[in-house]
Amino acid sequence: MKVLHTQGPFRFVEKGTLENGFPDYRLQEQDYYNRKWFDVYLFDNQMQCLLAMEDQEYPKWLTGKPCYIKDSVSAR
């Protein structure tokens, strides 16, 4: 397993090769209590993995955590 990038509680790994010959990219999250890493999302392709590494909110969205929170609120 090759760790590509780590940001906060998430890390991006390449875990071998798929049956079709393409790399197997995964998003992992670290457990708060035992500090072990576990798979939370399997990427469809390399481009999706690169996008998730670039956009810090996207991994949160993929795992169902609050993300893309608007800073200002306007009254109507």
Per-residue pLDDT band for 55 (boundaries 50, 70, 90) equals very high
pLDDT at 53 over 80: yes
The confidence score (pLDDT) of residue 73 equals 67
Domain assignments of the chain as residue spans, ordered by start: 2-62
Phi and psi, residue 60, nearest 5°: -65, -45
pLDDT tens string 1-43 = 899 999 989 999 999 999 989 999 999 999 889 999 999 999 9
Question: Measuring CA to CA, which residue among 46, 45, 47, 48 is closest to residue 62?
Answer: 48
pLDDT at 67: 86
pLDDT band at 69 (very low <50, low <70, confident <90, very high): confident
